[in-house]
C-alpha cells in the first residue's frame, strides 16, 4: 500500500493525539478542550492562520502552498465531538468522562486531519491554499450548518470541500465512495395523542389513547409500503411510546410518541411529513381522539458531487490501489450542509473488524491513520499540483 512514508513515521505521534482525545471526549458544542488541543497542535505544526470559535467551537486552519498561481482553495473537514454513551472497551485510554465516549471515531478523524495538516505545513508541495476544518456537534447538533452560517465558506473563499469517515467491517486502509445521494436526510417527529382517560374496567367511558397510538404506529408503516415508490428509500420508525399512566388499571388520557424518518430525496422527505400528519389526524378522528404533531427537519440528504467524487476516488486509488462503490447509508451526516454550500465529496476509509460505530465497545483503529492522512494529502496534491 503506497502510504506516504512521512505518515508512517508520524504514526506514534498522531496515535498519541488520538488516544488523548479518546480519553477526554466532549459532546456536541462543548468541545472546548478538544478545540484547544487542535488549535495548539496546528500552531506547533506551523499552520499559517488559526481561527477558533467558528460555529461556536469550531477551529479553522489555513495552510499556504509554495505557490498560488490560480487562487485555488480546498477545504478538508473532520468532526470532533463524542457521543453520550458510557464506554465499555476496557482500554487503558478509555473515556475518563462518565456517559461520554468517542463511539463514532471522530477522535480518529480529528487526529488524521491533524496529521495531514502537519505534513502539508512541512512540505507545502501544492499550488494554492488548504483550509483545514475541525467541526463540533456532528452528532445531532448541526455544527456543520453553524460553521457555514458563520460565513466560513466565503470568509476563506473555499471552492471545494472533502470529508471522511471510518467504516467498521471494511479492511483497514481501503476506501469506498459513491456519487450522488449517499447519507440520508434525518428528520424527527413528536406526536401527542389526547384521548379520554378512565378506569380500565370501564373502557366504554374512555377514548383509549394507547389503542389509538397502536393503530397510528401500524398505519405509519404504510408510508413506506403503500405511499412511496418502491425504488425510493424511506424508513419511518416510531422509537418511543410513553403514556400518561403508570398504573395497571388506568386507561391513559395521553400518549406521547417519538420517531425518526430517513429519506434519500426531497420528494420522499416532503411525502413523509405530509403523510405522518394526515395518517395520525385521520386515525385519531376515527377513534374520537386528537393528535398534536410536530415534524422536525434535521440534516438534509448528503449528496456527493459527481466530478469531485471521482477526484476523491482517484486520490484513494493512489493511496491504496482501489476504491470500491459504497452502499447507500440511511444514517445522517451533517457534512451535507457543507456540500450544499460548495461542491465536494465524502469518502469511507476501512476501520477493520471492529465493533460498529455508536456501540459502547467501538474503538477507532489507529492502523487506519496513515491511509487516512495520506488520502487528505493526496487530494490536495492532485487537485492543486505544485507549479
Q: Are 284 and 212 in contact (CB under 8 A)?
A: yes
Tell me if residue 5 falls in helix, strand or coil.
helix
What CA–CA distance (Å, rounded) separates 219 from 230? 17
**359 annotated as belonging to a binding site for a ligand:** no
Q: Which residues contact 69 (CB under 8 A, 6 or more apart)?
A: 127, 387
**106 annotated as belonging to a binding site for a ligand:** yes
What CA–CA distance (Å, rounded) separates 350 from 307? 23
What CA–CA distance (Å, rounded) separates 42 from 17? 12
Rounded to 5 degrees, what are φ and ψ at 189?
-135, 150
Count of beta carbons in the 10 Å neighbourhood of residue 353? 11
The cell 415508490 sits on which residue?
229
Residue spans of beta strands (DSSP E) within the chain = 49-54, 58-64, 73-79, 129-135, 160-167, 175-177, 180-183, 185-194, 198-199, 234-243, 250-251, 254-263, 290-299, 302-304, 324-325, 344-350
Looking at residue 196, the DSSP 8-state letter turns out to be B
Tell me if residue 72 falls in helix, strand or coil.
coil
Q: Are 224 and 235 in contact (CB under 8 A)?
A: yes
Q: Are 301 and 272 in contact (CB under 8 A)?
A: no
Rounded to 5 degrees, what are φ and ψ at 110?
-60, -45
Phi-psi region at 124: left, alpha or beta (left = phi > 0; alpha = psi -120 to 50): left
**104 annotated as belonging to a binding site for a ligand:** yes
- Detail the residues annotated as belonging to a binding site: 104, 106, 139, 165, 358
- Detail the residues annotated as belonging to a binding site for Mn(2+): 104, 106, 139, 165, 358
Amino acid at each position: 500500500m503506497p502510504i506516504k512514508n512521512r505518515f508512517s513515521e508520524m504514526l506514534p505521534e498522531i496515535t498519541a493525539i488520538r488516544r488523548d482525545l479518546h480519553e477526554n471526549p466532549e459532546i456536541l458544542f462543548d468541545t472546548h478542550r478538544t478545540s484547544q488541543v487542535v488549535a495548539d497542535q496546528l500552531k506547533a505544526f506551523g499552520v499559517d492562520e488559526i481561527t477558533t470559535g467558528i460555529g461556536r467551537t469550531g477551529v479553522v486552519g489555513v495552510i499556504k502552498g509554495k505557490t498560488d498561481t490560480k487562487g485555488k482553495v480546498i477545504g478538508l473537514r473532520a468532526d470532533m465531538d463524542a457521543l453520550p454513551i458510557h464506554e465499555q472497551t476496557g482500554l487503558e485510554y478509555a473515556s475518563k468522562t462518565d456517559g461520554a465516549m468517542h463511539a463514532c471515531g471522530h477522535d480518529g478523524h480529528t487526529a488524521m486531519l491533524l496529521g495531514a495538516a502537519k505534513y502539508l505545513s512541512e512540505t507545502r508541495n501544492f499550488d494554492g491554499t488548504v483550509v483545514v476544518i475541525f467541526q463540533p456537534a456532528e452528532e445531532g447538533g448541526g455544527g456543520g450548518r453553524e460553521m457555514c452560517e458563520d460565513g466560513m465558506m466565503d470568509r476563506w473563499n473555499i471552492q471545494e470541500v472533502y470529508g471522511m469517515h471510518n467504516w467498521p467491517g471494511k479492511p483497514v486502509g481501503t476506501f469506498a465512495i459513491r456519487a450522488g445521494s449517499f447519507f440520508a436526510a434525518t428528520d424527527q417527529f413528536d406526536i401527542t395523542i389526547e384521548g379520554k382517560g378512565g378506569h380500565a374496567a370501564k373502557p366504554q367511558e374512555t377514548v383509549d389513547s394507547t389503542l389509538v397510538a397502536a393503530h397510528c404506529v401500524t398505519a405509519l408503516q404504510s408510508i413506506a409500503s403503500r405511499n412511496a415508490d418502491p425504488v425510493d428509500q424511506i424508513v419511518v420508525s416510531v422509537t418511543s411510546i410513553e403514556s400518561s399512566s403508570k398504573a395497571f388499571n388506568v386507561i391513559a388520557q395521553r400518549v406521547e410518541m417519538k420517531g425518526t424518518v430517513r429519506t434519500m430525496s426531497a420528494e420522499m422527505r416532503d411525502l413523509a411529513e405530509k403523510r405522518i400528519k394526515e395518517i395520525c389526524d385521520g386515525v385519531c378522528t376515527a377513534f374520537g381522539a386528537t393528535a398534536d404533531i410536530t415534524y422536525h427537519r434535521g440534516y438534509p440528504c448528503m449528496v456527493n458531487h459527481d466530478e469531485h467524487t471521482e477526484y476523491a476516488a482517484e486520490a484513494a486509488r493512489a493511496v491504496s490501489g482501489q476504491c470500491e462503490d459504497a452502499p447507500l447509508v440511511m444514517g445522517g451526516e451533517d457534512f451535507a450542509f457543507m456540500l450544499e454550500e460548495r461542491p465536494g465529496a465524502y469518502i469511507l476509509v476501512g476501520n477493520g473488524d471492529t465493533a460498529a460505530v455508536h456501540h459502547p465497545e467501538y474503538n477507532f483503529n489507529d492502523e487506519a491513520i496513515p491511509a487516512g492522512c495520506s488520502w487528505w494529502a493526496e487530494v490536495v496534491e492532485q487537485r492543486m499540483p505544485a507549479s
